[in-house]
Amino acid sequence: MRRFPDGFMWGVSTSAFQIEGALDADGRGPSIWDDFFGESGDTGAVAVDHYRRWPQDVQLLAQLNVNAYRFSLAWPRLFPDGRRREQRGFDHYDRLIDALLERGIEPVVTLYHWDLPQALEDDGGWRDRDTAARFADFATDCYSAFGDRVKWWLTVNEPWIVGLLGYLHGLHAPGYRDDVFGEVTVFHHLLLAHGLAVAAYRAIGDGRIGAAPNLAPHYPASDDPADVAASHASDGYVNRWFLDALFRGTYPDDMRERYEAIVGPLDFVRDGDLATISEPTDYLGVNYYAPRVIQAVPGDTPWPWRVVVPEGIRTTGGFTGGVAHTEAGTPVVPAAFTDLLVRIRDDYGEIPILITENGAVFSEPVHDARRIEFVHDHLEAVHDAIEQGVPVLGYCHWSFLDNFEWALGYAQRFGLVHVEYETLARTIKDSGRWYARVAAANALPGPQ
């Protein structure tokens, strides 16, 4: 048995656009995702109809024995055109929050999980500095409305993915491609939005607030110094750009020089911005899915690395050979999760960490033994980090239930609860039943 610290938060995660559907209900305005057709051609028009079925979903949460639920507020429900307040949207989240608290479930609320009001995109979206200020106003309205009951806030979800997939690869809304300047501008404005929202919270809030970046531990593909250097460089792109800004108030020199070589001066970074971005936070949300194994790309290129599919990974805990992959093709390397958590502590200090996402695509409808193994092994990895002194407050599994997986639509199932998309019927999977026992015991059972 591996016991977790008293008060450990056992949670599950979702985001508004991925589950709510009901895009026209109660005065909601359009978001950048409403008409964005990813590779799958699916949209979030129905998703899992959580906006209407939330009472049943809260019961399911109770059946999972979770004591925390991470979800996001849909900005376009609360401010349909980015400005005008829609009370019916506030009423919806009031009811949801009250129902959670009645069942002893702590709401962990994300303010920005990608569904920007279309009206703000039309004004320039995250490329425009003013969007950061608008976000701080939006956050302040949310603190005022819900802060008496919500004590755990997350500002922005995965800024790296917003820039990478929304401005470089065109895979996520708003769908721009090859716009490196746009990408790095958007990174900065999302971080600035985070900092402004933290500062606003200090004036009126008495709970905890932090960011929720996705972080990927890096490993060179070989001992070749070129691969080692490439891995460090890629780590600057994915991890240090965000963590250095948040916790040191600087952008890493190597990455800053790289961007400047590609796009010229980063003149959208103004005096004082990094002080705002590094406003002290109460905790860090960590989204962890997989490590990146990096090989050097020779020649004169601004991006001197590539991600390779590893046959094995040398983590601090030893060599993991024959790495398994999820159905999304991501390598399953729990020991890399421990490395990541220990590294955050070693490099950035004893900031309390809440795992805000971790999960895998496995399509088995209900008897999902592979997910049980995945969660078991990742919880063991979290426990290893706790034993090494990393202050981990809790674990929120991605996801509560199968949902709209952005560009990949409904084909990719991440849930502990199965959703039959024709009928929207929910069934707790074997992994959900298993997770409910772990949460109730506050401990992991021995080897499976």
Rounded to an integer, what distance in angstroms lies between the CA atom of residue 157 and that of residue 211? 7
By CB under 6 A, tell whether 171 contacts ligand FCB: no
Tokens 């950035």, located at residue: 348
DSSP result, 40-95:
T---SSSTT-HHHHHHHHHHHHHHTT-SEEEEE--HHHHSTTSSS--HHHHHHHHH
Q: What would you report as the CA-atom Rg of the chain, rounded to the nearest whole angstrom?
A: 21
Stretch that binds ligand FCB, among 127-135, 257-265, 362-370, 398-406 (CB under 6 A): 398-406
Q: How many residues bind ligand FCB (CB under 6 A)?
A: 12
Among 31, 214, 276, 278, which residue sits at the site for ligand FCB (rule: CB under 6 A)?
Answer: 214
Minimum CB separation of residue 74 from ligand FCB in Å reads 13
Segment contacting ligand FCB (CB under 6 A): 154-162, 179-187, 232-240, 271-279? 154-162
43 part of the interface to ligand FCB, by CB under 6 A? no
Among 86, 339, 357, 373, binds ligand FCB (CB under 6 A): 357
Is residue 398 a contact residue for ligand FCB (CB under 6 A)? yes
Alpha-carbon distance of 325 to 342, in angstroms, equals 24
> Interface residues for ligand FCB in 263-302 (CB under 6 A)?
287
Please tell me whether residue 15 binds ligand FCB under the rule CB under 6 A.
yes
423 CB-near residues (< 8 Å, 6+ apart): none
Q: What six digits make up the tokens of 62?
A: 């109770």
Report helix, strand or coil for 352.
coil
Contact pick of 62, 119, 133, 161 for ligand FCB (by CB under 6 A)? 161
Candidates 42, 106, 158, 279; binder of ligand FCB (CB under 6 A) is 158
Phi-psi region of 65 (alpha: psi -120 to 50; beta: other; left: phi over 0): left
Question: Which of residues 146, 362, 374, 406 is near ligand FCB by CB under 6 A?
Answer: 406
Question: With respect to ligand FCB, which residue has the nearer C-beta, 157 or 278?
Answer: 157
Binding to ligand FCB (CB under 6 A) within 322-351 occurs at none
Q: Is 158 a catalytic residue?
A: yes
Of the candidates 158, 279, 373, 405, the residue annotated as catalytic is 158
Helix 334-348 vs helix 369-387: crossing angle, to nearest 10: 30
Task: Give the other-Cβ count within 10 Å of 339's Cβ.
Answer: 21
Contact criterion met (CB below 8 Å) for 348 and 286: no
Residues that are catalytic: 158, 357
Contact residues toward ligand FCB (CB under 6 A) are: 15, 18, 157-158, 161, 214, 287, 357, 398, 405-406, 414
